[in-house]
Amino acid sequence: MRIGIIGATGWLGSALGGRLLSLGIVTPDRLVVANRSGARSDYHGHAVTWARDAVELAALSDIVVVSVRPQDWPALGLGAEGKLVLSFMAGVGSDRLRDCGGRIVRAMPNAAADIGRSWTPWWADQGVTDADRQAVTTILSAIGTSDEIARESQIDLMTALPGSGAAYPALMAVAMARFMTDNGLPPDIAWRAADAAVCGGAAMLAGRIADAPALLAAYRDYRGTTAAGIDAAEAAGFSAAIRAALDAAARKARAMAGDAPA
């Protein structure tokens, strides 16, 4: 199968293209790429086919990955009759994607695609075949793991989480490091402290995230300094802030799709 990526030098498109090649999931002669700035002699160390535009890319590909920003979809003019179209775009629903004439799958990767750690939920429109589903799973295996979800509306929730990737951990790290520097610690030590909590803590929970409530209960039962901190965070609205963030992101995705006011 020949895979085409539109937006192949962008954040996600580049991660996908680079990893498809480095993992040998696709050979360079079967990868077709397009971007806005034009062909380069080298794509992640390989010579691949550069298409002039979306129309040429679709003609040269069996599967078309659309990895442009949502606002760039209308001008793309993609014609993909008879092809499988795998869209990464937030807030562009199947009602608009069907205009291209392809069989539509919407997927929601996240920035951890770069390191092969994206969990990518995806939804398949009617007409998508078992072979298409297998192809989607294979393509997404380049950037991590994936699961099919039942309803398209769930993609908007997935845009908020996990689509936000490292955004909220980064927000927490910045707030933590700022507390330390505000209290007189040099920045390098402040960042190491934040790294220990955010990255060390995440590593501890990796593969057993459903144990998070039990871990929190253990800290609370300890009745020490961390319990005092957890109580203060909740009193200051920590969980409510996370809820507000995810709700705002999902509402924005729905509004982009024209399903609801922002």
Ligand X SMILES: O=C(O)[C@@H]1CCC=N1
Q: Residues annotated as binding site for NADP(+)?
A: 6-12
112 binds ligand NAI (CB under 6 A): no
Q: How many residues bind ligand NAI (CB under 6 A)?
A: 26
Identified binder of ligand X from the candidate list 159, 173, 190, 198, rule CB under 6 A: 159
Among 68, 86, 105, 136, binds ligand NAI (CB under 6 A): 68
Check binding of 10 to ligand NAI (CB under 6 A): yes
166 binds ligand NAI (CB under 6 A): no
Subset of residues 92 to 111 that bind ligand NAI, contact rule: CB under 6 A: 108-111
Helix (H) or strand (E) holding 34: strand 31-34
Question: Which of 166, 190, 193 has its CA nearest to residue 178?
Answer: 190
Q: How many CB atoms lie within 10 A of CB 7?
A: 25
74 contacts: CB under 8 Å, gap ≥ 6: none
Least distance (Å) between residue 128 CB and ligand X: 22
DSSP-derived 3-state class of residue 70: helix
**DSSP-based helix, strand, coil % in the chain, nearest 5:** 55, 15, 30
- List the interface residues with ligand X, window 86-115 (CB under 6 A): 90
Which residues, 54 to 93, sit near ligand X by CB under 6 A? 90
* 54 interface partner picked from ligand NAI, ligand X, none, CB below 5 to 8 A per type: ligand NAI
Our finding on whether 163 is near ligand X (CB under 6 A) is yes
Joined tokens for residue 135 = 């192809």
| Residue 164 makes contact with ligand X by CB under 6 A | yes
* 120 lines the binding site for ligand X (CB under 6 A): no
The interface region with ligand NAI, picked from 63-71, 126-134, 143-151, 228-236 by CB under 6 A, is: 63-71
Q: 58-94: buried (b, 16+ CB within 10 Å) or exposed (e) per residue?
A: beebebbbbbbebebbeebebebeebbbbbbbbbbbb
Let me know if 209 is exposed, middle or buried by CB neighbors in 10 A (0-12, 13-18, 19+). exposed
Residue 104: φ, ψ to 5°? -100, 130
Q: Where on the chain is the footprint of ligand NAI (CB under 6 A)?
A: 6-7, 9-13, 34-36, 54, 67-70, 72, 76, 88-90, 108-111, 163, 165
Q: Where on the chain is the footprint of ligand X (CB under 6 A)?
A: 90, 159, 163-164
